[in-house]
Amino acid sequence: MSHFKQTVALKDVKCFALHGYYPEEQLVGNHFVVDLVTEFTPQGFDDELAQTVNYEDLNHIILEEMKHTQKLLETVLKNIISKVIELYPFVEMVNVSMKKLNPPMPGQIGHSFVKLSYTSAK
């Protein structure tokens, strides 16, 4: 018997947001790039959107959560994962990562990076 795993993901979702630990970061803002990957056992293959994760929903979740200023990127990632699980309780794994482009610190830094992963207890 075959056992399928399906991945639905968005890569390189570009956003401008006011996240940052320091008050000046929350005033000036920064550019961010988000990757979101979901994995699950397919609910079926009848060519209906209801049988899968809709990446338009994933995009909406990312863009909405990026609007809510947080001190820590980890908080933003946790909120994104929570919304994905709430909308799609059948997902078995969610990985979300965020790059903060050119973080405001000495030196030439391309980006900082934070990743958070969820795996269901099933």
When the pLDDT of each residue in the chain is averaged and rounded to a whole number, the result is: 93
Q: Using an 8 Å Cβ cutoff, are 67 and 17 in contact?
A: yes
Q: Which CATH number describes the domain made up of 6-119?
A: 3.30.1130.10
Q: What is the pLDDT of residues 29-65, one digit of tens each?
A: 999 999 999 999 987 777 777 779 999 999 999 999 9
Q: What is the pLDDT of residues 5-35, one digit of tens each?
A: 999 999 999 999 999 998 889 999 999 999 9
Instruction: Give me the residue spans of the domains in the chain.
Output: 6-119
Give yes or no for residue 69 having a pLDDT over 90: yes
Closest CA to 17 of 1, 32, 39, 7: 32
Residue 90's φ and ψ, nearest 5 degrees, are: -85, -5
pLDDT at 49: 78
pTM of full prediction above 0.75: yes
If one compares 83 and 122, the residue with the highest pLDDT of the two is 83
